[in-house]
Structure 1
């Protein structure tokens, strides 16, 4: 019997061989595609995720996804990070940046984790910003150092934190404002240090805002900064591009004067930068408090 089967096999026509080969290749391709799709289905590694009616931390919670469940992703918004999913015949939105955070549990967390915050270290690259009194230290260095400390503070709250720059590079003002718009940021915070244009007699920190939607956060963060060893120059209107052309709640922080000896001693210190970062984190927590 085996002998007859072998004879039939080796005497198959060339045409049939080609057909069988093509069919086999197609089967392998289809199997590979199915396997890739199966392996690429995201699984929830956090303890629990909210499903919201709309892609916003303020939207109604309509369900939850537990650890180990697979997500059928219908749509991904690469700008905001929100994914539209379907699970158990229910459609809704989840904050994708929380999927792999193993310790995150929506049931006992505040909604800060589902917010997007854009941090804007002022200047950079060919734009040095203002200079210290000796003209040897550049503002751009300290705006980045400070913003990175804030970044780590907010990352610890599981928020989706975006930086307009994370290195010494030039970023046009329009790009900074656009990132805030495209990501639908819940907050935009721009970091700067001031100058008295050679007078050397001005000092202190100040919070600027432009649109009404920034009033609440501007007042909260100004209050948190009262523990800083600097004069409080109070909240004021600031006609700056990154505020004026920003649709999201946006503030610009001037955290001391580069050309003031007292202020600059603080500005260049890690301790002062970390104090700013801690105060910003507390202000964010208060702003998003349920």
Structure 2
């Protein structure tokens, strides 16, 4: 009996020592969901300082410089987590859009993120915009990725407050979407416009390495959260090709004076709509169209389209209203 008691005492002591070591070193870690993943990072633009006067902030900081700094920091963080990272550029050089997509496909990427920063005529505007390609109900995995990134950017750069937009690239390039997303369709892929370099205070922050790192950490957190879930499918693309294009201002056009009125036009349209008479609603529709043309990816653009649908229905244009309701569902997911 005594030897048997000694045996069990030794076993018990061994278990206690093992538990003590576990507590001292922390719980056993599970594999990082990023381990082994092939991540394509695409720092937008590059090598165009001499020819492009649009992508520059109030004091001269260029978007492509910020894009590259964030991408390089994110690469290091992802590699530390065990991911394989492929950069479409690692210096301030021009790389054709088709080459970026081709590299992503040849590298058999698990995920594609094109890193950008935004511009508009209104210097008070500053919020994240994330684009996916095509229709939300078809490109479901990219929509999920976009939502993760939008929320992480808001958390790390905006204190968890304020609006964000998650929209199809057909909202800004109405006929075909963005080249790099169109060319990588089939893998989860987004363009991230974290902030606006046309916002003076934001431009100052974007010049700082520590702030660039905060953005990179947000992307890291979002990508890790994305791969921690069961991913929804990416279906064959068909819906965007059936919707008539809604033409909007392009790039430098968005710096035109009338683009400054995007918010006021929406608010005035709301007031006119509430009047209830046909003439006021016709005027409201015109203002809504102008708001969306000037800022098709704003956080109010979805509301603009919802009101457009309501006015078209009130005008008895049921077929046109149905098309616009489908556009709303496909291009502006909640």
TM-score (normalised: structure 2): 0.51
Paired position in structure 1 for 2:97:
173
Paired position in structure 1 for 2:14:
none
Q: For the structure 1 residues 236 and 195, does the alpha-carbon distance in structure 2 shift closer, same or farther, using more than 3 Å as the test?
A: same
Matched, 1:279 2:203: no
Deviation for aligned residue 1:108:
5.2
- SS across alignment from 1:114: coil
- SS across alignment from 2:129: strand
Match of 1:245 among 180, 183, 188: 183
Of Structure 1 and Structure 2, the greater helix share is in 2
Q: Which moved more, 1:229-238 or 1:148-157?
A: 229-238
Matched, 1:210 2:133: yes
Q: For the structure 1 residues 273 and 232, does the alpha-carbon distance in structure 2 shift closer, same or farther, using more than 3 Å as the test?
A: farther
Name the CA distance, whole Å, in 1 between partners of 2:143 and 2:178: 15
Paired position in structure 1 for 2:68:
144
Matched, 1:117 2:11: no
Where do 1:39-50 residues align within 5 Å? Answer: none
Aligned CA RMSD, in angstroms, stands at: 2.0
Name the CA distance, whole Å, in 1 between partners of 2:57 and 2:32: 41
Larger radius of gyration: 1
Of Structure 1 and Structure 2, the greater strand share is in 1
Name the CA distance, whole Å, in 2 between partners of 1:232 and 1:130: 23
Paired position in structure 1 for 2:151:
223
Match of 1:259 among 184, 191, 198: 198
Matched, 1:186 2:110: yes
Paired position in structure 1 for 2:78:
154
Name the CA distance, whole Å, in 1 between partners of 2:61 and 2:163: 24
**CA contact 1:206–1:232 (8 Å) conserved in 2:** no
**CA contact 2:34–2:78 (8 Å) conserved in 1:** no
**CA contact 2:118–2:194 (8 Å) conserved in 1:** yes
Give 5+ residue unaligned stretches, structure 1. 1-106
TM-score (normalised: structure 1): 0.58
Greater relative contact order, per chain length (Cα 8 Å cut-off, separation 6+)? 2
Runs of 4+ in 1 over 3 A off after TM superposition: 228-232
- SS across alignment from 1:228: helix
Deviation for aligned residue 1:125:
1.1
Q: How many residues align?
A: 182
Deviation for aligned residue 1:188:
0.4
